Amino acid sequence: MTHDPVSVVIVSRERPEALLRCLKGLSQQYYPNFETIVVADPTGTEAVNGSAFAGLVKLVEFDEPNISVARNLGIAEAAGEVVAFIDDDAVAEPTWLTHLVAPFVADAEVMAAGGFVRGRNGISFQWKAQSVDAMGRTEDLKVDETRPSVLHPTGRRAIKTEGTNMAFRREVLAEIGGFDPAYHYYLDETDVNLRLAAMGRATAIVPLAEVHHGYLSNASRRGNRAPSDLFQIGASQVVFLRKHCPVEHHETILKDFAKEQRLRALEHMRDGRLEPRDVRRLMSRLTKGYAAGKSRPLGALPRIPRPSEGLRPFPSRAGTAPAVVAGRRWNARGLRRRAAELVAQGQNVSLFLFSRTGLFHRVRFHPDGYWEQTGGIFGKSDRDQPLFRVTGFGNRLKEEKLRLAEQRRLFED
């Protein structure tokens, strides 16, 4: 099997602990031929330099709140034929790159790819597959969730990729100048999707290329998902419309967008996450963002040259076998210790801790480097399962291993 060289770019700002967790997850990839590029503020740079990953990543220090510029700095250092992106508050499943890169190898027409994104509970999906139009409106797409789907743009609709789980051929990304710096935050990758669609480029949706997204706080949202500032979102919305949407639609779209943001803020206020004064401040900031977006310069983006340094190989678990540790919740301490020992020995570990209950299941990537799933023997993992089922420990373990077989290589002998 061909393993094209891949560059993985992580942009990190004010999240050093999450960044190291993301890197630990990447070091467990089964894909054998990739490098990792970290574009980070001083706190992230210091964290990497003080960790086991020092010298193993291409490290670019960048201390401005502009994700597009940061991503372009990462592309400039990328020596791979494919450039993949993951957020610092996300962790990739061990077969992420294996699945995400496969469509580029199989089909020369594929210029972009996007995988599925699981949310905080490690089970439910935040994002699957969507298309997007020149007004920024998205529609869900139905795809085969067991294999890649190669999709072409239709009309004025593009195939959307999600910033925390996407990849592009470096050649085409460099040709279009990467990400537009006018988008400091929000819609930056959607703009790339529209530009590729205008060129008639194909995008693969790759369901089995999964990442788990923590959705941590940043300058625009709180840890509880409530918005903290709408300035950059408003500015990017205007930039997007200026670039892609006929001017006669701008006013209506911006009014509707403001209504949506106000309704979202009011829902958070109803649930106790915001106060009335927060809603007023957010809407004021949105209006100021609109004004800023109208004045941001637009123009052709220069081609991004290739770096002088070649691929800097990042550690992987290529050629290793996965391990499973499983038991009752009451023996969690000993089972976790065993899982950590196996990780230290170089194995990818899935730990299953089941209680004799109907509790819903949750999955997390433990700081010690193993995947931990907790829940009741009789409870749901996939949320469309029955609320309660009668089964035994062994059958439930077999069922969960089968559910994760493609993502963790937990195939039955």
* Nearest-angstrom CA–CA distance, 176 and 112: 13
Domain positions in the chain are 6-213, 231-295, 323-408
pLDDT (0 to 100) of residue 412: 65
Instruction: Give the rounded distance of the alpha carbon of 391 from its chain centre.
Output: 34
The CATH number assigned to the domain with range 6-213 reads 3.90.550.10
CA distances from 209 to 29, 40, 97, 100, 375 (A): 12, 25, 7, 5, 24
For 73-119, give the DSSP string.
HHHHH--SSEEEE--TTEEE-TTHHHHHHHHHHH-TTEEEEEEEEE-
pLDDT (0 to 100) of residue 156: 84
* Nearest-angstrom CA–CA distance, 236 and 136: 11
Backbone angles phi, psi at 364, to 5 degrees: -145, 155
DSSP state of 141: -
Nearest to 23 by CA among 62, 1, 61, 49: 49
pLDDT (0 to 100) of residue 225: 86
* Nearest-angstrom CA–CA distance, 32 and 393: 35
CA distances from 26 to 31, 86, 139, 177, 397 (A): 10, 10, 31, 27, 26
pLDDT in tens, 155-210: 889 999 999 999 999 999 999 999 999 999 999 999 999 999 999 999 999 999 99
pLDDT (0 to 100) of residue 76: 98
pLDDT (0 to 100) of residue 385: 82
Contacts of residue 284, defined as CB under 8 A and 6 or more positions apart, other chains included, come to: none
Residue the block writes with tokens 């401005």: 64
Helix (H, G, I), strand (E, B) or coil at 385: coil
Residue the block writes with tokens 């935040």: 126
CA distances from 140 to 112, 130, 137, 143, 160 (A): 18, 4, 10, 10, 10
* Nearest-angstrom CA–CA distance, 158 and 239: 17
pLDDT (0 to 100) of residue 383: 80
* Residue 144, token pair as written in the block: 């085969």
CB atoms within 10 A of CB 128: 17
Query: Are the C-beta atoms of 58 and 37 separated by less than 8 Å?
Result: yes
pLDDT in tens, 74-119: 999 999 999 999 999 999 999 999 999 999 999 999 999 999 999 9
Letter string b/e over residues 221-260, b meaning 16 or more CB atoms within 10 A of that residue's CB: bbeeebbbbbbbbbbbbbbbbebbbeeeebeebbeebbee
* Nearest-angstrom CA–CA distance, 220 and 186: 10
* Residue 201, token pair as written in the block: 């480029």
Global confidence as pTM: 0.96
Q: What is the mean pLDDT of each run of 10 residues along the chain (413 residues)?
A: 90 97 98 98 98 98 97 98 98 98 97 97 96 96 97 93 97 98 97 97 98 86 91 98 97 97 96 96 98 96 97 96 96 98 97 96 97 96 83 96 96 67
* Nearest-angstrom CA–CA distance, 271 and 198: 42
Point out which residues pair with 376 in neighbouring strands. 355
